[in-house]
Amino acid sequence: MAKKASLVVLISGDGSNLQAIIDAVNRKQLDAEITAVISNQVSAKGLDRACKENITTHVIDHKAYTSRENFDQAMIQVIDEASPDLVILAGFMRILSQAFIKHYQHRLINIHPSLLPKYKGLNTHQQAIDNQDKIHGASVHYVGAELDSGPVVIQVEIPVFSSDTAQTLASRVLVEEHKIYPLAIEMHLNNRIQFKNNQIQLDKQPLNKPLLWKEEKLITDK
């Protein structure tokens, strides 16, 4: 039997996206094994989620390193032991060095709670409310050189209600994140995503716009 694809997941907190990926592996949506979960926070709840599934966990505390580069090198060492086909950032709250990003080019993916390129960085839900956006959402993207940049594969859109707070909005977005992240990972594992001259392709065609997940369906042409 062919060896299963190896997924390494990096977390810092609750790990609800990690859970969605675990669930997708368990229901065989993803033909893969989560070979390691790495957290920079010893108290991350996601570590318990991984332990429950007998997934190998590592805590690499960024505070124990004198520079971002040294911390990232320590992570690279641990990650590479798992020979990952894909390195998945799932609420990993550290900015990554260029060396790390380059090392995993085209196999490093992130989920961000906004409709990128809108609202890079933190407090995305509050920004959507403050700007009276009618639509908000989340994006799955390959990691580029700049913070929260890189080609977006799938976005999900949800309506913003006038009664929304940052918390209510965040929790509705999160429910949708749990659907689109496994879908994007599945596309990567099935080799549907490729990079040609640094241009992202889906099914061998340039992916000029992100796919859109709306009303429980994947829409390929907006």
Q: Among residues 13 and 144, whose Cβ is nearest to ligand GRF?
A: 13
User: By rule CB under 6 A, what string of x and - marks binding of each residue 71-100 to ligand GRF?
Assistant: -------------------xx---------
Among 5, 34, 50, 138, binds ligand GRF (CB under 6 A): 138
Residues in region 4-33 near ligand GRF by CB under 6 A: 11, 13-17
Q: What is the 3-state secondary structure (H, E, C) of the chain?
A: CCCCEEEEEEECCCCHHHHHHHHHHHCCCCCEEEEEEEECCCCCHHHHHHHHCCCCEEECCHHHCCCHHHHHHHHHHHHHHCCCCEEEECCCCCCCCHHHHHHCCCCEEEEECCCCCCCCCCCHHHHHHHCCCCEEEEEEEECCCCCCCCCEEEEEEEECCCCCCHHHHHHHHHHHHHHHHHHHHHHHHCCCEEEECCEEEECCEECCCCEEEECCEEECCC
Residues in region 171-200 near ligand GRF by CB under 6 A: 174, 177
Shortest distance in whole angstroms from residue 203 CB to ligand GRF: 26
Near ligand GRF by CB under 6 A, which window of 60-68, 96-104, 111-119, 161-169?
Answer: 111-119
Q: Determine whether 103 is an active site residue.
A: no
- Catalytic one of 58, 112, 125, 136: 112
Shortest distance in whole angstroms from residue 17 CB to ligand GRF: 3
Shortest distance in whole angstroms from residue 28 CB to ligand GRF: 21
Catalytic residues: 112
